[in-house]
Homo-oligomer: A and B are copies of this chain.
């Protein structure tokens, strides 16, 4: 379904990096959910530059909501978010129209769109397009909170620095959602920033891992075949540019275990069925079991680097080299985390609306 994702609650993304505007349409959100424009602005800010770590492109990223909100609440009809592009330096990209940047979508876009794509700044493939997702996601996150469902994502690793694992989930989620640089161990945060700064000084970039936890999901959400909760979440997560791996619970490590280690024994906790550990990441048979849902995403290093790279000039079909100038981030993992939160929230709102009906999210 292309640039629309979701069935009952669906988001449509539009825009190019250097076009008139980017944005999103969020459809199917329950009527009556409060829309907090300050929270939207806060989330937009998290997606943007973090001090010296990020791109020097400075966009106001002001979000205009032109439909679907009335008297501060969702109406139940499509909510449209428009973000004007302002600080465009299209001349930076002009010469790159036919020189495919390694690691970017330039070549694949060319093959798909036969040269008609807006190639400036990555066009529709730019990470900037995630701004619409973050705006829509902010409404979804708000709706989930009303239902006591909380999402938190930390930078599990960046370069060779690893954050501590999740501990007290409620406290950790609070900490992350108030942090600009989402790391649980503040010492590790400084080390990660140093790693990013070092990459920048080398004209290079670094990647990392995001780890997300969701608390409060009821048991029974997801489908046995094809729309397993893992399927729909991974579908969403792999839409984030730069994500190359997704794993749930113990993920790839579970492949090395024996069944007696991997299985999560059941027990009763205050009359509720729980598991003694959570290797399955809160999902069995594609369906939630009421435990926290945990997953990780691998984020590749920013493909924009300042080093000279080999490439092909598609207009001449000749080999050449290219050196990228202009502004770009030496890492995106710290900015991607709010995108992961957003798309997770949108996906969960859809699953919950499908299971419990279109009004359920507003009744929390």
Once bound together, how far apart are the Cα atoms of A335 and B146, in whole Å? 43
Stretch from A47-55, A166-174, A185-193, A356-364 contacting the other chain: A356-364
In the complex, which residues 293-313 of chain A have their Cβ closer than 8 Å to any Cβ of chain B?
A: 296, 298-305, 307, 309-312
Query: Is the CB of A32 closer than 8 A to any CB of chain B?
Result: yes
Stretch from A36-44, A137-145, A175-183, A232-240 contacting the other chain: A232-240
Once bound together, how far apart are the Cα atoms of A337 and B337, in whole Å? 33
| Number of copies of this protein chain within its complex | 4
Q: Is the CB of A4 within 8 A of B12?
A: yes
Measured CB to CB, the closest approach of chain B to A177, in angstroms, equals 23
Once bound together, how far apart are the Cα atoms of A280 and B103, in whole Å? 8
Q: Is the CB of B244 within 8 A of A284?
A: no
Closest to A302 in B: B259
Query: Is the CB of A265 closer than 8 A to any CB of chain B?
Result: yes
Among A7, A118, A234, chain B packs the most CB atoms within 10 A around the CB of A234
Q: Is the CB of B273 within 8 A of A354?
A: no
User: What residues of chain B lie closer than 8 Å to A234, measured between beta carbons?
Assistant: 231, 234-235, 238, 246
Once bound together, how far apart are the Cα atoms of A74 and B239, in whole Å? 23
Q: Is the CB of B312 within 8 A of A273?
A: yes
Q: Is the CB of B15 within 8 A of A10?
A: no
In the complex, which residues 198-252 of chain A have their Cβ closer than 8 Å to any Cβ of chain B?
A: 199, 202, 204-209, 218-228, 230-232, 234-236, 238-239, 241, 243-252
Listed A/B pairs (18) with beta-carbon separation below 8 Å: A1-B7, A1-B10, A2-B225, A14-B27, A25-B25, A75-B124, A103-B259, A103-B284, A204-B258, A234-B234, A244-B249, A251-B298, A254-B301, A257-B300, A258-B305, A260-B305, A268-B318, A273-B317
